[in-house]
Amino acid sequence: MRNPQLNGDGKLQHLLTIEGLPREILVHILDTAASFIGVTEREVKKVPLLRGKSVFNLFFEPSTRTRTTFEIAAKRLSADVINLNITVSSSTKGETLLDTVDNLCAMHADMFVVRHSSSGAAHLIASHVAPHVHVINAGDGRHAHPTQGLLDIYTIRHYKKDFTGLSVAIVGDVLHSRVARSLIHGLTTLGAPDVRVIGPRTLLPTGVEQLGVSVHHDMREGLAGCDVVVMLRLQNERMKGPLLPSAQEFFKSYGLTPQKLVLAKPDAIVMHPGPMNRGVEIDSSVADGPHSVILPQVTFGIAVRMAVMSILAGN
Amino acid sequence: MSKVHIKNGRVIDPKNRVDAKQDVFIAEGKIAALGKAPAGFRAERTLAADALVVCPGLIDLSARLREPGFEYKATLASEMQAAVAGGVTSLACPPDTDPPLDEPGLVEMLKYRAKSLNLAHVYPLGALTWKLGGERLTEMAVLRDAGCIAFSHADTPLSDTQMLWRALQYAATFGIAVWLRPQDGFLARGGVAHDGEVATRLGLPGIPAFAETIALATILQLVRATRTRVHLCRLSTAEGVAMLRAAKKEGLPVSCDASAHHAHLSEIDLGYFDSHCNVIPPFRSLRDRDALRAGLADGTIDALCSDHAPVDEDAKQLPFAESEPGVTGLELLLPLALKWAEEMRVALPEALAMVTSKPAAILGVPAGDIAAGRDADVCVFDPSAQVKITADSLKSQGKNTPFIGYELPGRVRYTLVGGQVVYEA
């Protein structure tokens, strides 16, 4: 089965998931992102790489951060950006996903940035659009959030330089997390030897170790000696129910506090894809403390998204 | 009624242990004779069957015809054409129509409409509970008289075990068989794929294998208590097959089937979210699939069925979890049974038994064999043909099958129902 995100020449046609992407493509994206960091720090923050192109931000699920950073990234590349929040538009009128896409293609879209609550939505759109149209998955269900995964590995590379000796702990609701899946694939592709997932058994998917990670239920044991701690967001609706009894108990067992963080390496960095639940998965003193690189993640995210868009437009 | 002579074919009648090159003579809608023509027989039509297999018409234990209620997916006319194109001459249809088959009028209407098409025989399964709601028994005795061959809850969970117990007791009172697909509704809630490696990778909500085995354990315990004749539909797990093997050894009055697509595919076939692989129950691990194949070969699983569920393309062109489950299967039942037999080195007569005599025994209908005096429901097919499956080649209104593009063995050449040639190719 051909990887649906690569074109006939093995180049990136769509960015749907990190899984299955060759190492060279990942490194190329990270290197390209590094070259854009300069642009984002200039007074005139624009390059003309996407001039005349129309980028449609197609968000079937609410998002502030991801949609905004994609919009900024596209604008800094001089693209025309159209934002569509479909949760309040067509789908309530009964239009199907592909009808919506067809209509936007008729408006000469060049690139879609798609977020959807169903796993596989971006794959479906990518299999449907004309060959010159590119699709970027901005999060599909529990499946993948590749630009988040890329900005996470960009951040790790920025602070740790090299992946080959690294221990990375991913903590919390892995079951529902597309961020965790994308990060795991990125780290294993780049050769990180020690990727751990930490969480209660109810929040770890069946057979997660087959993704190439070790599994821990005791956070102290899982954090011991690690270089990077990635905290995952716990959705409000999952805090009480069959998976967890309460946010308080979750924080007690799996919240990142200064007392737990000391078990990691002294120079460990703390990451979070946002938006954070302070006092649920992370203590404020850690979120705002010296180990936290949560805000640089956001900044890097713009450069990474510029890199992905410019590479796709060039292929 | 015309007289038909099927000449020089390899006649395979698993029930009567016939496997020989001989002629079949049909008159007055019945099998008149095998081998030698009856005195004075003058064929109005002779079908040359050299190098072809002549077997009983196939019997499919699960085919949704989508009427009443879902005519935009398929119609009785289109699906009955598909049936005979697949060599299927009798089929049982589940009660999950809209409204469900819970009233005699609906059942009589369906029987009448099917009969007027004069294609395959249709055996409706009545709804076990009113509107498949799980709260009130249906009038099983009345529905049986109207034509229901057995009663089922289709794919709707019947989570109330008190209700299930009473339904089985009540059915047993009238000697009625109950068909159940074992799946715990609570454990399966929200799931769309086998809870395993592939679902984890694709981020799809899972249905654990024990959703089947827990339901199966409950059902088997109730069978032990009530002695109701129960047919278990669409086994999907290795443990489920093992439980059935033990239950049969114990002598419980149970039978079971598997779908033809489950005998071939596994979770791996989901690929990149192929919604044609969104099926009920989900495609499970390779180990489970292999256990189904072995269970079919050793007789634990009694029959293969198509579990035919035509779905319109719009309902499949959606993200995996939102797409409608089901595959079109009537026309693939024979090819997939042949493919299974080839791969498992099962002899042709045993393979054909899985889709003819054995399902006939489960239905309890006088069909599935070609003894003299039987209604002449016959399938004549070319076993050596390899056929590429395309959307255009399917008569069913549903083109939803993961086997599009596959080359499968077997091409139906003639289908006869009641001695009439209703399909030829």
What SS3 class is residue A211?
helix
Q: What percentage of chain B exceeds 70 in pLDDT?
A: 100
Of A1, A124, A178, nearest to B203 by CB-CB distance is A178
Amino acid in the structure at residue A283: D
Contact A140 B203 (CB under 8 A): yes
Buried-state track B182-198, b at ≥16 Cβ within 10 A, e below 16: bbbeebbeebbbbbbbb
Residue-range domain boundaries for chain B: 56-363
Average pLDDT, whole number, for chain B? 97
| Nearest residue to A297 (alpha-carbon basis) of A236, A251, A229, A250 | A229
Q: What is the mean pLDDT of each run of 10 residues along chain A (315 residues)?
A: 87 97 97 91 87 95 91 96 78 77 92 96 96 96 97 98 96 97 98 98 96 98 98 88 93 97 98 95 97 96 97 93
Average pLDDT over residues B89-95: 97
- Residue B237 in contact with residue B291, Cβ under 8 Å? yes
What residues 321-380 of chain B have any CB closer than 8 A to a CB of chain A? 321-322
Considering only the top CATH level, what class is B56-363? Answer: alpha beta
> What is the separation of C-alpha B94 from the centre of its chain, rounded to a whole number of angstroms?
10
Residues 6+ apart with CB under 8 A from B249: none
A146-293 CATH, one of 3.40.50.1370, 4.10.910.10, 3.30.200.20, 3.40.50.300: 3.40.50.1370
- Using a CB-CB cut-off of 8 Å, the residues of chain B touching A205 are 199-200, 206
Q: Which of B195, B307, B369, B377 is catalytic?
A: B307
CB contact residues (below 8 A), chain B span 243-282, against chain A: 271-273
Substitution target from B200, B317, B324 for chain A, most A beta carbons within 10 A:
B200
- Is B312 in the A-facing interface, judged by CB distances under 8 Å? no
The predicted model scores a pTM of 0.94
Domains A23-144+298-314 and A146-293 share a fold: yes
**Between chains, do A97 and B320 touch, taking CB under 8 Å as contact?**
no
For B:201-240, CB contacts with A below 8 A are 201-206, 208
Cα distance between residue B280 and residue B64, in whole Å: 13
Q: Are strands B53-56 and B378-388 parallel, antiparallel or unpaired?
A: antiparallel
- For chain B, what percent of residues have pLDDT higher than 90? 97
β-strands B88-93, B121-127 pairing: parallel
Active site annotation includes B19: no
Q: Where are the alpha helices (DSSP H) in B157-285?
A: 161-173, 185-188, 197-202, 210-226, 238-250
What chain A residue is nearest to B273 in terms of C-alpha separation?
A120
Q: CB-hemisphere CA count at 13 Å for B273?
A: 32
ipTM of the complex: 0.92
> What is the least distance, in Å, from the CA of A145 to any CA of chain B?
11
Query: Best residue in B276, B322, B323 to probe A by mutation, most A CBs within 10 Å?
Result: B322
Neighbours of B287 (CB within 10 A): 12
Look at residue A85 in the predicted model and tell me its pLDDT: 86
**Domain covering A23-144+298-314: architecture:** 3-Layer(aba) Sandwich (3.40)
A interface test, pick of B189, B267, B273 with most A CB neighbours within 10 Å: B273
C-alpha to C-alpha distance for B106 and A32, rounded to whole angstroms = 66
Express each pLDDT in B59-81 by its tens digit. 999 999 988 898 888 899 999 99
The domain locations on chain A are: 23-144+298-314, 146-293
* Tokens found for residue A49: 């790489």
Neighbours of A42 (CB within 10 A): 10
